Structure 1
Amino acid sequence: MQFKILQLVFLFAICSAANAATLNKQVRSLDWWQHASFYQIYPRSFKDSNNDGIGDLQGIIEKLDHFTDAVVDAVWLSPIFKSPQVDQGYDISDYRDVDPDYGTMDDLKELIQKAHAKKIKVILDFVPNHTSDKHQWFIDSVNGVEEYRDYYVWANAKVDDDGNRVPPNNWISNFKNSAWTWSEERQQYYLHQFAPAQPDLNYRNPKVVQAMKDVLTFWLDQGVDGFRVDAIPHLVENEELLDEPKSNIPGYNDTDYEYLDHIYTKDLPETFDMVYQWRQLLDDYTNKNGGDSRIFMTEAYSDINHTMLYYGSADGSQLGAHFTFNFYLITDININSTAQDIANTVNKWLDAIPEIYTSNWVLGNHDKHRVATRFGVANADGFNMLKSLLPGVAVTYNGEEIGQENGEVSYEEGQDPSARDPAIFDKVSRDFERTPYQWDDSTNAGFNTGAKPWLPVSEKYVETNLKKEKADPVSHFKVYKALAQLRANPTLISGDVTVKAVDEYTVLIKRSLNGSSLALVFNVGNDTATVDIAEDVSKSNKIVLTNVDSSRDTGSTVDPSNLKLEAHEALILSF
């Protein structure tokens, strides 16, 4: 077992060399991002360089070699702009400056320069739906300054039958309760689809549209390689402020976001148009200034049809995001899902996406419980294999490469503004997946040198940390790194893909190109399974990689007609 990772390199070289003559003619010509590995950094929790309890830009600079080691092509930084930190940076008070918690503009420029020197792209988090209520635009809008009067969505109050002032409609915030807050100064309500400290911008105002385009151009001029666009479906709302109908989803009350069907506040046509305008801006910038494509990727928890529209029109006549996140491996499956559930989820995406666009695969992020928690640590390698073998972009949330689980956070320690109610904290808080990265087994897991972190370090750090996993002969990190190297195989870049269930809890993914194939066989269940995969896998096969708990050796062969898999076992085979 200890030779698994070393043998992978040898086997990969054999597979590649044997087919080089034909594969070189068939491999698709791809832009830099289309088969890239993107890595999300949650800066506040990544590395604290000055021991003040908060991760920072210098901490990221200090750890740049980690991304080279993990074969990462691009890092995406969750927001680092000036902010009161009501929602950990997603409430921006100045789009053109760095928050002192994280450092300075010079620190960011240094990060960009040093990352580029290591061939790593830098993506910033663009938050266009709303600002902080401390942004000067909002302050001026509240005070009726003419230039900014309509920068936000304002509406007059209604009066109920008892003569009480009430909001203009029934819209509900993503963070519960009314999406409207009364301003005494302005004597109107303002819209906030998230926290009251996050007022929504008014994209029906051309001045807002131009101001936000100018923000994008400003950061492109600083050398960033693109943007992740936050909460894009909520950008534009119904102009008539019509009440939304009930969703009739059981288990929710009239203060819950899920209580309504958001037909007037989500995925409106004007939102897609704005996305297409931003894509044009990025393409124009690249054409004018040269260099690699500047890209943007959008966050949209939407149905499959609307999700595809964020990419652009089906024929490509209008282009949108280079890719919009595929969240279905997060939203549609769980620890109890069958192999057929998993296959259906993957194939739903593959069937829906137009051929001209690039798929992407996401297992977790700062808003969703960690993959090792949702599916169990024993399945962490298997799901990383699944993500890596599928065509297109692979996205990693910091910590997934070491099998990091949710941390332990009490209500008193929590920071998430969406969970400031002890009755709902354990169910809805996002703090658990945001605890500090576990670098080693020293004080505070190496996050800093002893200051109290903004969120507590998980108790699991002694056993689960990067230093230990780099030293261990077999580890989640070594599996992750081997997968990143394997993704350079032309079969995984350009090969055909088959995804299917081969028994109740065993899923098979097969990639094929010019007679060369790679296949993942993954038992997600809690019991052993014996499967017949002979119609998909040749007898002349070799194990390229296994999950950490497998007893098999790389380089050995399996009998595809009678393959016994232990619970949670995952194998990648070449043939």
Structure 2
Amino acid sequence: MEKKWWHSSVVYQIYPRSFQDSNGDGIGDIQGIIQRLSYLADLGIDAIWLSPVYQSPNDDNGYDISDYQAISPEFGTMDDMDELIQKANEYGIRIVMDLVVNHTSDEHSWFIESRKNKDNGYRDYYIWRDGQPNDMPPNELTSIFSGSAWELDKQTNQYYLHLYSKKQPDLNWENPKVRNEIWQMMNFWLDKGIGGFRMDVIDLIGKIPDELITGNGPMLHTYLQEMHQKTFGKLDVLTVGETWGVTTEDAKLYSAPERNELSMVFQFEHIGLDEQPGKPKWDTRPLDFIKLKQVFTKWQLALDGDGWNSLFWNNHDIPRIVSSWGNDSPQYRVVSAKMFATFLHFLKGTPYIYQGEEIGLTNTPISSIEEVNDIESINMYNERMQQGYNKEEIIHAINKKGRDNARRPIPWDESLNGGFSTETPWLALNPNYQDLNVKKDQQNEESIFNYYKKVIHLRKENELIVWGDYKELLPNDPQLFVYERSYQGETWLIIINFYEKPTIYKDDDRKVETIVISNYMDSSKKIDKLELRPFESVVYKLKKSH
């Protein structure tokens, strides 16, 4: 496999509304990101995945785009965007734009034209169908944001498809004019020197709604190969697709280099392991740790040589991992967050850090629906209240799985509004911000932030982490995740106690040369009977066997 810059890179996701406000309107913006580039350079990251900053009415916080080649005024101007690309580049940091091309906003000029009449030249940019008798939608497809995926437009008395909000009509990728518009728009951004694209719900673009096919439609990979050819194919950029239902075999189709599609995909198999099969994400169950290990090992082995893994715990849609599957109490938050870093960052693939993960930000419990901003959570609340669910149960589900958990502003210090803004933020900070903020973490040598710095530095300095073979040990152990990485005669052993309960690891066959990194100050070098403390994780370099 040809070595690319993104193989050895660490990507940092910024959710711009919540990163840094520079102009005192309570909303993070592009100039705020520019102000914090030195922080990101200090952390050691190589690329920023920038969640949407395009013009948008913000029905779904920017994932409903009304103009792909304009910047939303709340974030700044195109001049600000050009400055961000240039200044990030000076720090050796590339900007990966969020590409949302499954759907647009209903306020996009294409859709405004499309809905005027059935003969409009833009009509086929979207998916319009007649309803069934008795004013029923064309079929039973449902929206990911609750209810039918079809919305009746009274102007022409036809329904349009929206797999998300009704203000997010789906584009018709079967129309070559639509694809050409998208290639032109992508090249507009590539010409600015961006480092690539993260592609929102890209597995849906091949949908055939009349056959109830949404994900992984028959033309999906043809479209992606055309995209590769018409846009980024000759450029040295990172492309990562968000693909919720993907299998390992699918992922190879997306990311095998000879297929000329994408660099890698996000798969979410591990993320759903605390959800009840076949039910919405709100219906949870305890995490199956053995299954978690099986999923990671499956993906490590399946893509080896045939594709590339993306590695992540968090993003703007997923609650904070240290609260979800770790322990965010004052006693264990720091070692627990460091354990998650160790677990992930020594695997093969490109790691993604979501803003605030590097200081161990926690979920933010709410007690009333009035405190919620996220459209998905609000829709679920209203739907379940109508269905007779207990209000406390619904709030509990939102606290556990709601997207606002990830979207709260970054606390930079203990000052008013955590140094995020001089005015009231668009979404309240976690009340713990005076104890848990960037400044405190930077100043503490043993902090989560400084642990992440070390982990990122190790990846840059050791090809073993990037290219080494993966082998899992003790797959059936109920609380230990143990794996080896081997490369050119060198082997590292990664031992992780996933839980608070102490446990013992025994290994008489291997001898330790040195401790590479540990989340406790005084981890033992003896692994013949290693006593692991709560959430303890250690990376050992092993002596070569003769």
TM superposition score normalised by structure 1:
0.84
Structure 2 counterpart of 1:574, from 517, 523, 541: 541
Match of 1:413 in 2: 371
With 414-423 and 430-439 compared, the bigger mean Cα shift is at 414-423
| Deviation, structure 1 residue 425 | 5.5
1:87 aligns with 2:60: yes
Aligned-partner SS, 2:440: helix
Q: Does 2:468 correspond to 1:495?
A: yes
Q: Which residue of structure 2 lines up, in the alignment, with residue 520 of structure 1?
A: 494
CA contact (8 A) 1:93 1:133 kept: yes
Offset of 1:333 from its aligned partner? 6.0
- The yes-or-no answer on 1:297 pairing with 2:254 is no
Question: Post-superposition shift, 1:152?
Answer: 0.3
1:344 maps to 294
Q: Secondary structure at the match of 1:173?
A: coil
Return the offset for 1:118.
0.7
Q: Which residue of 2 aligns with 1:60?
A: 33
**1:561 equivalent in alignment to 2:528:** yes
Contact 1:518-1:572 at 8 Å conserved across structures = yes
Shift of 1:310: 5.0
Residues 1:465 and 2:408 aligned together: no
Residue 24 of structure 1: aligned partner: none
Provide, for residues 205-239 of structure 1, a one-character-per-residue CA deviation record: whole Å limited to 9, x for no partner: 11101111111011111221111100112223226
Structure 2 counterpart of 1:476, one-letter code: I
Give runs of aligned pairs for residues 311-322 of structure 1, distance below 5 A. 311-312=254-255, 316-322=257-263
The Cα of 1:542 is off from its aligned counterpart by 2.2
| Residue in structure 2 matched with residue 453 of structure 1 by the alignment | 425
User: For 1:215-230, what aligned pairs fall within 5 Å after superposition?
Assistant: 215-230=185-200
Structure 1 CA distance for aligned equivalents of residues 45 and 158 of structure 2: 48
Q: Number of aligned pairs?
A: 507
- 1:480 shift after superposition: 0.7
Report the Cα distance in structure 2 between the residues aligned to 1:74 and 1:542, rounded to whole angstroms.
Answer: 31
1:279 matched residue in structure 2: 228
CA distance in 2, matches of 1:300, 1:136: 28
Aligned residue for 1:442? 415
Q: Helix, strand or coil for the counterpart of 1:508?
A: strand
- Which amino acid in 1 is paired with 2:431? E
In 2, the alpha carbon distance for the partners of 1:432 and 1:571 equals: 29
Residue of structure 1 equivalent to 2:446: 474
Cα offset, 1:515, TM superposition: 3.2
Distance 1:310 1:87 in 2: 30
Residue in 2 aligned with 1:133? 106
1:191 maps onto 2:161 in alignment: yes
CA distance 1:182–1:199, change in 2 (3 Å): same
Measured at CA, do residues 338 and 265 of structure 1 come closer, stay the same or move farther in structure 2, by a change above 3 Å? closer
Distance in 1, matches of 2:250 and 2:324, equals 24
Distance in 2 (alpha carbons) for counterparts of 1:543 and 1:523: 16
Question: SS of the residue aligned with 2:371?
Answer: coil
2:54 aligned with 1:96, yes or no?
no
Determine the structure 1 residue equivalent to 2:360. Answer: 403
Structure 1 distance, partners of 2:419, 2:472, is: 40
Aligned to 1:361: 311
* Change in CA separation of 1:309 and 1:495 when aligned onto 2, cut-off 3 Å: closer
Higher relative contact order (CA 8 A, sep 6+): 1
Partner of 2:104: helix, strand, or coil? coil
Q: Do 1:35 and 1:493's aligned partners in 2 also have CA atoms closer than 8 Å?
A: yes
Name 2:14's counterpart in structure 1.
41
What secondary structure is seen at the aligned counterpart in 1 of 2:12? strand
Percentage of pairs with the same residue: 35
The equivalent of 1:175 in structure 2 is 145
- SS of 2:70 mapped into structure 1: strand
Do the aligned residues in 2 keep the contact of 1:282 with 1:294 (CA within 8 Å)? Answer: no
Picking from 147, 153, 157, the partner of 2:127 is 153
Residues 266 and 389 of structure 1: CA distance in aligned 2, closer, same or farther (over 3 Å):
same
| CA distance, structure 2, for counterparts of residue 170 and residue 86 of structure 1 | 24
* Correspondence for 2:265 among 301, 324, 330: 324
| Residues 285-328 of structure 1 deviation map (CA, whole Å, 9 limit, x = unaligned) | 52xxxxxx02211001114146415525x6x5422110101333
Between 367-376 and 89-98, the greater mean CA deviation after superposition: 367-376
Structure-1 separation of matches of 2:270 and 2:463: 25
SS in 2 for 1:109: helix
Moved more, 207-216 or 338-347: 338-347
Please list the CA deviations of residues 171-227 of structure 1 after superposition, one character each: whole Å capped at 9, or x if unmatched.
000011100000011210000000000000111111101111111011111221111
Q: What stretches of structure 1 of length at least 5 have no aligned partner? A: 1-27, 245-263, 287-292
Q: Is the 8 A contact 2:190 2:232 kept in 1?
A: no
What amino acid sits opposite 2:322 in the alignment?
A: A
**Would the aligned equivalents of 1:175 and 1:194 in 2 still touch at CA under 8 Å?**
yes
RMSD of aligned residue pairs (Cα, Å): 2.0
Q: Which residue of 1 aligns with 2:208?
A: 238
Q: What is the distance in 1 between the residues matched to 2:143 and 2:395?
A: 17
Instruction: Give the 3-state SS of the residue equivalent to 1:427 in structure 2.
Output: helix
Distance 2:301 2:89 in 1: 36
**Preserved contact between residue 459 and residue 466 of structure 2 (Cα < 8 Å):** yes
| Alpha-carbon distance change, 270 to 309 in structure 1, aligned in 2, over 3 angstroms | farther
Change (3 A) 1:513 1:328: same
Alignment of 1:202-217 (within 5 A): 202-217=172-187
The Cα of 1:330 is off from its aligned counterpart by: 2.1
The amino acid of 1:328's aligned partner reads E
Tell me the amino acid that sits aligned with residue 240 of structure 2: M
- Report the equivalent of 2:503: 529
Following superposition, the deviation at residue 283 of structure 1 comes to 4.1
| Whole-angstrom CA distance in 1 between matches of 2:289 and 2:248 | 24
Q: Which amino acid aligns with 1:76?
A: W
> Once the 2 structures are TM-superposed, how far is the Cα of residue 57 of structure 1 from its aligned partner?
0.1
Q: What TM-score comes out, normalization by structure 2 length?
A: 0.89
CA contact under 8 A between 2:202 and 2:241: conserved in structure 1?
yes
Amino acid at match of 1:561: D
Report if aligned partners of 2:413, 2:438 keep a CA contact under 8 Å in 1. yes
Which secondary structure does the structure 1 equivalent of 2:229 belong to?
Answer: helix
Q: 2:470–2:484: 8 Å Cα contact kept in structure 1? A: yes
